[in-house]
A and B are shown apart, each in its own frame.
Chain A
Amino acid sequence: GQNIDQPTEMTATEGAIVQINCTYQTSGFNGLFWYQQHAGEAPTFLSYNVLDGLEEKGRFSSFLSRSKGYSYLLLKELQMKDSASYLCAVMDSNYQLIWGAGTKLIIKP
């Protein structure tokens, strides 16, 4: 079967750095997405990786290792507004997104 695993919840301090991990087992791989979802709102796109390595976009970076079925999202200089759920999703061989359950990130002052 297809499976995406992420930690359920993480806590970090304002101004710090946090890494959210995602491991996956899917039928085929056509890229990995990270989305942010604030409570009660719709998911919004953060990043896309299809090749191994690190993609940096401002305070957010995303890393992919296809051989290990592993990705992480790195958030730097955490702000209170970063409190949200972070969703990992893999595009499978049918070009459908398989979603993880999300990691709820709590930022403390």
Chain B
Amino acid sequence: AQSVTQPDIHITVSEGASLELRCNYSYGATPYLFWYVQSPGQGLQLLLKYFSGDTLVQGIKGFEAEFKRSQSSFNLRKPSVHWSDAAEYFCAVGGSGYSTLTFGKGTMLLVSP
């Protein structure tokens, strides 16, 4: 069965500092990988996705993620965090022929001044 692990429940980053959120997945074939962001009281919004090709994918709001098959990882990065990036971030995995996504438990990002 597919699964996603986000090891960090909370992360605090200073504004302007770089960010990396970790995601490890378990999937038996080529995965489809996603990062979503959720602001308080809102639904989830897609940040970026990886289906195939270049392992470094760019997303909205200056985020990027790198797919590393050997490590079963899809970590999210941003070079300089803004206070508005404070939110909860979810990694998800799916696959071709599957009807559903499996989400991680989320990482709450706090941004300190």
Chain B associates with chain A? no
